[in-house]
């Protein structure tokens, strides 16, 4: 079923309102998360010489923005929640764009890499192709997209106050290939556990 544009806007508004309301709790609950495997997966795949121009897509309070900056790169954040965007600017000292995923305005061929950690699953599947095309366009030729999402069986809907779409690997792969990306690798997280105990699907892609 195709959702009307006002329904998509409502889904996004309610999900962002949740993060706006719970910004402090979200920061406390995620600031110590170890995503070094994911950061390395992005940086190791980029062939350009550092310092790299990076977009942290859905940067939240700025944890990974600060890490990228401390590694000597030039990161820019993008966040839909005004409170989280302000927290990210304060914590990281980086530029943070405040944009709704359904109303993106990204510069053309600007970034060596896009880091989309635990964020693209909030995009309704109907809107996902458009978002991926814009991420593809904002990458330089040969640039790299990293994504990590909770996996599922291609179901989507509300989980409390947040909307989520939970793709399996074949479906996720089809979306990325259709957007013009070339597959580099994928893996499941947390590392070292049986597959049934790895709820996160991470993948790395190159712009043709």
Q: What is the pLDDT of residue 114?
A: 99
Q: How many CB atoms lie within 10 A of CB 80?
A: 23
CA 9 to chain centre: 19
- Predicted TM-score (pTM) of this structure: 0.96
CA–centroid distance for 139 within its chain: 14
What is the Cα–Cα distance from 143 to 124, expressed in whole angstroms?
A: 25
What domains does the chain contain, in order, with CATH numbers?
A: 5-207 (3.40.50.150)
Q: What is the pLDDT of residues 54-85, one digit of tens each?
A: 999 999 999 999 999 999 999 999 999 999 99
Bridge partners of 159, per DSSP, are 162
């Amino acid at each position: 079923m195709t959702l009307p544009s006002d329904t998509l806007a409502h889904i996004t508004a309610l999900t962002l309102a949740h993060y706006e309301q719970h910004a402090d709790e979200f920061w406390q609950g995620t600031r110590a998360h170890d995503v070094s495997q994911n950061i390395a997966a992005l940086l190791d795949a980029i062939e350009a010489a550092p310092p790299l121009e990076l977009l942290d897509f859905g940067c939240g309070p700025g944890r990974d923005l600060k890490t990228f900056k401390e590694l000597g790169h030039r990161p820019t954040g993008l966040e839909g929640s005004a409170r989280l965007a302000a927290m990210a600017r304060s914590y990281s000292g980086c530029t943070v764009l405040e944009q709704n995923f359904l109303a993106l305005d990204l510069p053309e061929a600007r970034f060596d890499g896009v880091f989309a950690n635990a964020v693209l699953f909030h995009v309704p599947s109907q809107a996902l192709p458009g978002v991926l095309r814009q991420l593809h366009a904002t990458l330089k030729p040969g640039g790299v997209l990293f994504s990590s999402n909770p996996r599922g069986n291609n179901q989507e809907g509300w989980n409390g106050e947040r909307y989520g779409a939970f793709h399996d690997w074949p479906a996720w792969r089809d979306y990325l290939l259709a957007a013009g990306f070339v597959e580099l690798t994928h893996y499941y997280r947390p590392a070292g556990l049986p597959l049934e105990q790895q709820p996160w699907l991470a993948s790395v892609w190159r712009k043709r």
